Amino acid sequence: MSIRGSAPVRSKTLRMKLRFVPHTLALRHAFGIASNTRTSTPAMLVEVEHDGVTGYGEAAMPPYLGESQETAAAFLAKVNLGQFRDPFCLEEILPSIDALAPGNTAAKAAVDIALHDWVGKKLGAPWHRIWGLDVAKAPLTSFTIGIDTPEIVREKTRDASIYRIIKVKLGRDAATDRQLIETIREVTDTPITVDANQGWADREAALKMIEWLAERRVNFIEQPMPKAALDDTAWLRERSPLPLIADESCQRLVDVAKLQGVFDGINLKLMKCTGLREAHKMITLARALNLKVMLGCMTETSCAISAAAQLSPLVDWADLDGALLIKDDPFDGAKFTDGKIIPTNGAGIGAAKR
What CATH number is associated with residue 153?
A: 3.20.20.120
263 and 183 in a single domain? The answer is yes
Give me the number of domains the chain comprises: 2
Quick check: 193 and 267 in contact, CB under 8 A? no
Q: Three-state SS string across 257-296, please?
A: HHHECCECEEEECHHHHCCHHHHHHHHHHHHHCCCEEEEC
161 and 23 in a single domain? The answer is no
Q: What is the pTM of this model?
A: 0.94
CA atoms within 13 A on the CB side of 211: 9
CATH number where 38 lies: 3.30.390.10
Residue at 294: amino acid letter = M
C-alpha–C-alpha distance, residues 354 and 351, integer Å: 9
Supply the DSSP symbol for 195.
E
Residue 197: exposure state from Cβ atoms within 10 A (0-12, 13-18, ≥19): buried
CA angle, residues 7, 10, 16, in degrees to nearest 5: 60
Neighbour-count burial for 264-276, b at 16+ CB within 10 Å, e otherwise:
bbbbbbbbbbbbb
Four-point Cα dihedral 225, 226, 231, 235, nearest 10: 0
133 and 234 in a single domain? The answer is yes
Quick check: 5 and 76 in contact, CB under 8 A? yes
pLDDT recorded at residue 2: 65
pLDDT recorded at residue 34: 63
C-alpha–C-alpha distance, residues 9 and 215, integer Å: 58
pLDDT recorded at residue 35: 60
**168 sits in which H/E element:** strand 166-169
Last residue of a domain, one of 81, 97, 124: 124
Quick check: 232 and 282 in contact, CB under 8 A? no
Q: Which of the residues in the chain have pLDDT under 70?
A: 1-2, 7-14, 32-36
Supply the DSSP symbol for 185.
H
